[in-house]
Structure formats: C-alpha cells, structure tokens
Chains A and B, each alone.
Chain A
Amino acid sequence: MAFWDGLSPVVQDSSLLLALLAPIVLLGGALLRGYAPWAVLRALLWRSRVAALVFVALIAVSVGLGVALLAQERALRQGAARAADGFDLIVTAPGSEVTMLLATVYLQPSDVPLLDGAIYAEIARDPRVTLAAPIAFGDSYNGAPVVGTIAGFVDHLSGPLIEGRMFADHREAVVGARADVAMGAELEPAHGTGIDADAHAHSEEHYKVVGRMAATGSPWDRAILVPIEGVWEVHGLAAGHAEGAQDALGPPFEPTLFPGTPAILVVADRLVDNYALRAAFTRSDTMAFFPGAVIAMLNGLMGDVRQLMSVMALVTQTLVMAGVIAGLVILMRLFAGSLALLRAIGAPARFVFAVVWAYAAGLSVIGAALGLLLGRGAADILSRVISARTEVLVQANLGWPEVHLVAGFVTICVFVGLVPAALALRRIVVADLRA
C-alpha cells in the first residue's frame, strides 16, 4: 500500500484502467487464440443488425448518462470553487453564511444588512490586512449587477484589464469580460435587481464604461463595477470622504461619512493571518467566513446525492445490461442453425463459444465507447446550459472516474457475455440442424 500511495496519480489511474481492462484482453486472447472468426462474426452481426444497433444504442445511452452525470457533477463543483477563487475571507453582518456567499461571490440578489464605517475602518487599519474591499451589491443595469467597490478589488479579481483603464471618477465603470455593454457606453443603474428593479430610481445618474476586466469564470464576468462612492451618491448618501475632498476615490474613507457596505472582502498575505482575522471578526456585530470552506461544506452535504447518482447510474446500466443479455439469449435462436452447422462440420466448441462471446463483447465495447463520446457531448451541452444560466463557468471534461466507470462496466459486460456463449453450446446440434 505504501508503494501504491507513492505512485503519481496518473500512474495510479492508468494502472487501475489497465487492471480493469486486462480481463477483457486476457479472456479475449484465451478464447480467440488460433481462430479467425471474423467472417462468421460479420455474418451474424449483419443478420442481427437491427437488434445489434438497438443493443449498442441502449448501452451507449445508459453509459452516456452515467458518464455525463459524473463529469457534470465534478465540473459543477470545480466551477463553483473556481468562481470563489480570490474571495479569501468575507466579512458581513451576522446571518447566513450561505446567503452571504451566494450574494457576494455569485452575485445572487438578496437583501442583507450593512456594515458601518467603523467596522470597515477597523478592518482596513489591521496590519495583517493587505486588501479590505467593500462590495456593495444591490443595483443593476439591464439585469446585470452593478457593484460598488474600490480599484484594489478590480485589480485583485481581474489582474490587468483586457481593455481600457481603471475607473478614476465616481461616474466611471469597469465591466466584466462578458458584460453586455460597450466601452464608452453610458449606463443608468436601477435600484434593486431582476424584474423588481426600479429603472427610474436613479434617472439622473449615469456611469461611463472605461475598462473591461479579464474573464474570471464567475458571475462577476457580467457585472458592472463602479466606485462605491458612486453607488452612495446615486442613492443620495454621503460619499465617504470629508468636505473638500468629496471627489477623492477609494480608501481611506471617513468612518462617519461611510454609509455602509453589505460585505467586505479581506485579503491577507499569510494563511495564519487569514485564520486569525476570521477569528477576530467572528463576533456579535460581524461574521467572517472563508467562501472555500462554505463551498466545501455544501459539497459535503451533496456527497450523499452524489452517491445516490452513482448508484442510480449503476442500476440503470445493470438493468440495460440484463436486458441486452436477455435479448442476446433470444437472438441465439437466430444464430442456432449457423452455430449448429459449424459444430457439425467439426468446429471446436471453443470456436463457437468464442464467436458468441465476441459478438456480445463487441457490442458492449462499441456501445460503451459510443457512450463515452455521448456522455462527453451531453456533459458539454449541460455545461453550456448551466454556464449560461448561472454565469458560473462550468467545463465538463472526461476524467479518470468516468473512464474507470466505463472500463469497469465493459469488463462486467464482457464477463456476462460468457452466459449466452455457454447457452449457445448447450443447444442440441442435430435438432438445430433439422430446424
């Protein structure tokens, strides 16, 4: 076991695949050695082409379903985790971590209480903190979230902009990579989001798009990021800066003139500091959480569902396999005359056995291979739909778990294929010859 654990994952995965496929190769080799059953197989396949196609399709669909589910589920988890990259530690008013996670990381609209200027100042002042970015969501433009923040957050999330420049004025905006607004466009934000958004709430206020962020694979790619001062002003609130410096942009803010923010992203350089900060801001008036940890917890809760899915996929495949085997046994009647002829003219029992087995194994292998492709395609389509619906970039790829599942399934099929082969040998040759 120590040896196995010491191997690299790729070596482990490919060894497992080989171990799963080895029985097929060994069995096939043992049964077919010294024979050339291809003409007979070709004839039987053609004779039963409709049934064979149905079997292959059944196997392909059931395998494809399992593969797609597995790949999709993993992609979803990876996508959700990737979308939370960069959101190290979030501080909000006390409440539900899941709600805050959805609102902050995935920009799902929700009404949440605000943190005041004193708390922001306390966080920003902390020597362990390298970035304390307010995240003021709640407004929208054409259904896309308009979020007030500071330039440091844009840098943190996007890195270098792919177009234009950083906002330098309360009325400028930087948009996400996939936001449906052009550079230089003037936007009129609405208060609230979705169908309840009040389009005329801020009728006199406009933002001008001056930059575009790199893609992050998260809902932030559709967001419009503006200086938080702009959001406050649009709502007729103080703009965070003392008289005489009203046009200033970004921190430090004047705590008494800080109207509030629903969430603050906190970034610290050292991991231990992250934990210390979480501890420090978990108190009666604030809540601090790691989005990654909340996602992990949710994944843990989903673990049972995942297992259920796997079991269901397996049950489906087993049922399909049972159906196919039953079908094969019935099909043997279609082959009975030919197989009896072969045995009558002196074909060894192993030859006839190998022919029937190769027929069943061939259908399983072809069906499973098609299923792998089908599953890949289905997962691709599902990914696109989910990506479009949730704005979380989900990219399903075939991974080792799917390959192992299919290899295991094929191996089982190939062994079950011994059943019709054995039944074919039990038929009475002279009776089938007379038929």
Chain B
Amino acid sequence: MPAPENMELSVKGLIVTGAQRRKLLDLPCLTLAPGQSLGISGPSGAGKTTLLHAVAGLIPVNTGAIQWGDTDLADLSDAGRARFRAAHMGLVFQTAHLFDELSALDNAAIAAGFAPKHARAAIRDRAREHLQKLGVQASTGRAVATFSGGERQRISMSRALARSPAILLADEPTASLDRAAAERLGDDLLDFSRQGGTLIVVSHDPSVLARMDTVLRLADGQVMQ
C-alpha cells in the first residue's frame, strides 16, 4: 500500500534543453496533490517522456525546481535521486526492458537484488501478489521472452508496484495493447490512485485520460490549454 507521506508534486519554471540548446520542455508551473492522478497527452515528440523523466529525477535539472513533498530533486546527488526513486517511485517505461531470460516473478521482483536483505522477501511477496492480481501466471518459471505484449506491460507494472511506492509514473502503458487489455490496465492504474497513490500517466488513450483527475496537454514542449 502507498505510504501515507506528503508527496505533493510541485514543479516550477522547469526548462529542459536538449542538443544545441533546443528547448524540449517548458513547464512554468505544475502541482499534483498526493493521491491525485494526472494524465499527460500530446502528439509524438511533444516532450511527454521528457517530463516524466524529469519528475523521476532521471535528467539533471538546470533551470527550475522539482519538489516531491519536502524533497527538492536538485538538492540530491545522482545516488540520492536513485535512493529516492527506489524508496518512493514505481516506474513503467515506454519500453518495458524486461529481462527476457528471467521468469515473470524474477522480473517483477528484480529490485530485490539491490534491496536491503530484510526487505527482499517482502518485495518478492508483493511482486507475486501484483502479478496474480494483474492476471499474470507467476507460478511458472517460464522466461518472459514469449509473453504477450499485454502480459509484459502487466509484469512491468508489477515490477513498479512491488516496492509499494507512493508515486507511480507510467509512460504509454497501454500503447501496444488491444482494447480489452488496455481497459484492464487502465483499471489497475486507477486502483493504485484510489488507494492513495500519486499517479502520472502519459497516454494517447482517451479512455485512460478520461479517468484521470487532471489532464495536461503538451505540444512542442509547451502546455496547451
């Protein structure tokens, strides 16, 4: 279950520049209360993934501030941001980057490898729990290479949830899924939000976006109104 922390997101004057000083993202202000859900939409190349990476602390922020509760990401070192992600965030990336050679459970519990010894069993237990809840066969030791796109997204989701994060960031989680599978994953995301988690979902899917508390539309790195 999400920890009852004050994990309010507060972004101010964020500017992300890419190669040749090209402005990839310009976000003057964004706040998201704990337990709230935010949908991000926009055409391809709009900067949605960049925004997600920024709030996850995966790209260095030169201009502006990103705060999660009392924590300013700019104050943290690389290692500090990694610790922050490990402690508070679940991430579902556009490309799942599953270990094709490992089982669904080993993938979902991959964080156990670098978690403190006393926390490992709990991570595996919750990974198994989420896989079951999301309808992925966790009992078989079968490598995930042959799993369907929908199953892979669910494993990726279980991996994100195995450490009971307060924040879930998902990048186009339903992109490669058929209607029914997308529907189910949308339910799973909403479940997380209903249980008090702070949720940010990048999506083109109107049915997913419709279920979010707020939707932010991006185009060309700018917020559209």
Contacts and interface: CB of A to CB of B under 8 A. Distances in A.
Interface of A: 34-40, 42-43, 46-47, 337-338, 340-349, 351, 429-430, 433-435
B102 A344 contact: no
Interface in B77-121: 78-79, 82-87, 89, 91, 93-95, 97, 99-102, 106, 110-114, 116-117, 120
Given A43-B99, A347-B86, 4 more contacts: A39-B113, A345-B160, A347-B111, A434-B49
A344 B113 contact: no
B53 interface: yes
A430 B16 CA distance: 13
B185 interface: no
B76 interface: no
A344 B91 contact: yes
B124 to A, nearest CB: 11
B116 A433 contact: no
B113 A346 contact: no
B189 interface: no
B101 A346 contact: no
B114 A35 contact: yes
B85 A47 contact: no
30 contacts: A34-B116, A35-B114, A36-B117, A37-B113, A37-B114, A39-B102, A39-B113, A40-B99, A42-B102, A43-B99, A47-B100, A47-B101, A337-B97, A338-B97, A338-B99, A342-B110, A342-B114, A343-B82, A345-B86, A345-B110, A346-B85, A346-B86, A346-B87, A346-B89, A347-B113, A348-B79, A348-B82, A430-B58, A430-B59, A433-B95
Interface of B: 49, 53, 56, 58-59, 78-79, 82-87, 89, 91, 93-95, 97, 99-102, 106, 110-114, 116-117, 120, 159-160
A349 B59 CA distance: 16
Given A37-B113, A40-B110, A346 B99 contact: no
A429 B53 CA distance: 10
| Main SS class of interface, A | helix
B86 A434 contact: no
Nearest to A433: B93
Contacts of A42: 101-102
B128 to A, nearest CB: 15
Given A42-B101, A43-B101, A347 B114 contact: yes
Contacts of A35: 113-114
A36 B87 CA distance: 18
The 10 A-B pairs of least Cβ separation, nearest first, read: A346-B86, A341-B97, A346-B85, A43-B101, A43-B99, A351-B114, A46-B101, A347-B114, A346-B82, A39-B106
B109 to A, nearest CB: 8
B102 to A, nearest CB: 5
